[in-house]
Amino acid sequence: MEIPYTVTARPDTGLWNAKVGIWLFLASEVMLFGGLFSAYIFLRLDAEPGYWPHGLLNVPVGTGNTAILIASSVTVVLAWAALKMRQFTRYKIYMGITILCGVAFLVVKLAYEWPQKFEHFGAYIKPSALEKYEPYLGNKHLLSEGLPPRVEITGHLHNHEALHDASIKDYEVGLDPIYTDPTNPKMDRPHFLYVPPTEKIAHIDKADVDRATMFLPTHNTYFATYFTITGLHGLHVLGGVIVFTYLWLPFGSRLYRQNPEHLANRVEVAGLFWHFVDLVWIFVFPLFYLL
Partner 1 sequence: MDASSSVSHAAHDHHDTAHEHHELGFFRKYVFSTDHKVIGLQYLITGLIFLFLGFCLMMLMRWQLAYPGKELPVIGNLIGRMLGPGSMNNGVMTPEFYNSLGAMHGTIMIFLGIVPVAFAAFGNFVVPLQIGAPDMTFPKVNMASYQAFFVGGMIMLISFFVPGGAAKGGWTSYTPLADIADKGPGYDVIFNGQTLWLIGFILLITSSLLGAINFIATIIQLRAKGMTWMRLPFFVWAQFVTAFLLLLAFPPLESAIVMQLMDRVAGTSFFLPTGLVVNGTAVSISGGGSPLLWQHLFWFLGHPEVYVLILPGMGIVAEVIANNTRKPLWGYKSLVLAALVLGFLSFIVWAHHMWLTGMGTAVSAFFQTTTMIISIPSVIILSAFFISLWGGSIRFTVPMLFATAFLPMFGIGGLTGIPLAFNSADLYLHDTYYVIAHFHYIVAPGTIFAVFAGIYYWFPKATGRKMNDFWGKVHFWPSLICMNAIFLPMFLQGMLGMHRRWYDGGEGWTLASEKVWGLSGFHWNLPISIAAWTMGVAQIPFIINFFWSIRHGQKVGINPWEATTLEWTAPSPPPHGNFLTPPVAYRGPYEYSLPGRAKDFTMQTEPVEPNERAPHEPAMSLSH
CB under 8 Å to 58, separation ≥6 — which residues? 113, 116, 194, 289
The nearer residue to partner 1, 195 or 238, going by C-beta atoms, is: 238
Interface of this chain with partner 1, residues 208 to 247, rule: CB under 8 A = 211, 217-221, 224-225, 227-228, 232
Q: Which CB sits closer to partner 1, 58 or 220?
A: 220
153 close to 205: Cβ distance less than 8 angstroms: no
Q: Does 5 bind partner 1 (CB under 8 A)?
A: yes
Q: What residues have CB less than 8 Å from 219, skipping those under 6 apart?
A: 122, 211, 213
Q: Are the beta carbons of 241 and 99 closer than 8 angstroms?
A: yes
Nearest to 270 by CA among 236, 237, 243, 231: 243
In this structure, how many other beta carbons lie within 10 angstroms of the beta carbon of residue 1? 3
| Residue 72 or 233 having the CB closest to partner 1 | 233
Whole-number Å distance between alpha carbons of 247 and 266: 8
Q: Residue 245 Cβ, how far from partner 1 at the closest point, in Å?
A: 20
DSSP 111: I
Measured CA to CA, the distance from residue 141 to residue 123 in angstroms comes to 21
Return the number of the residue (68 or 269) whose C-beta is nearest partner 1: 269
- As a whole number of angstroms, the distance between CA 63 and CA 270 comes to 24
110 binds partner 1 (CB under 8 A): no
Q: Total residues contacting partner 1 (rule CB under 8 A)? A: 43
Q: Which of residues 49-108 bind partner 1 (CB under 8 A)?
A: 51
Q: 110 or 195: whose CB is closer to partner 1?
A: 110
Which run of H or of E encompasses 265?
helix 260-284
190/213 Cα distance (integer angstroms): 21
Between residue 139 and residue 168, which ones bind partner 1 under the rule CB under 8 A?
none
Q: Binding string to partner 1 for residues 17 to 36, with x set by CB under 8 A, is what? A: xx-xx--xx-xxx-xxxxxx
- Report, in Å, the least distance between residue 258 CB and partner 1: 18
Query: Minimal distance in Å, beta carbon 54 to partner 1?
Result: 15
Window of 14-22, 81-89, 192-200, 201-209 that interacts with partner 1 by CB under 8 A: 14-22
> Which positions touch partner 1 (CB under 8 A)?
1-5, 10, 13, 15-18, 20-21, 24-25, 27-29, 31-36, 38-39, 42-43, 46-48, 51, 211, 217-221, 224-225, 227-228, 232
